[in-house]
Amino acid sequence: MHRDIKPDNILIHNGNLKIADFGFCKPLENANELAQTMLGSPIYMAPEVIKGEIYTMKADIWSIGVVLYQMLFGKCPFESKSIAKLIKMLEDEDVVIPDFPKISPTL
């Protein structure tokens, strides 16, 4: 489990994406192993991570989705300088997908 996926930790080398900075990673015995430590960059954290709840490696999938959203739309789906406000946004608001004609229906 990487636990800090964000644009700064994604590199491109010879056309291949590589994930860097494994300082917060946690080796797992199996895919269902749990963690509870709140680590990473708040705007990329899965809701369960930022709220200090138990989470699985699927929290990294949330972070990848936030990075993809940022790549497509130039901003994160939820942004705030306050962790408390960010948690409230994650609990109360839906992700808004802007109408963007250049994005394929599959994406």
Catalytic residues: 4
Residue 89 sits at φ, ψ, to 5 deg, of -60, -45
Contact 90, 47 (CB under 8 A): yes
Contact 35, 54 (CB under 8 A): yes
Contact 21, 9 (CB under 8 A): yes
Mapped onto helix, strand or coil, the DSSP state of residue 66 is helix
26 contact partners, CB below 8 Å, separation of at least 6: 1, 3, 35
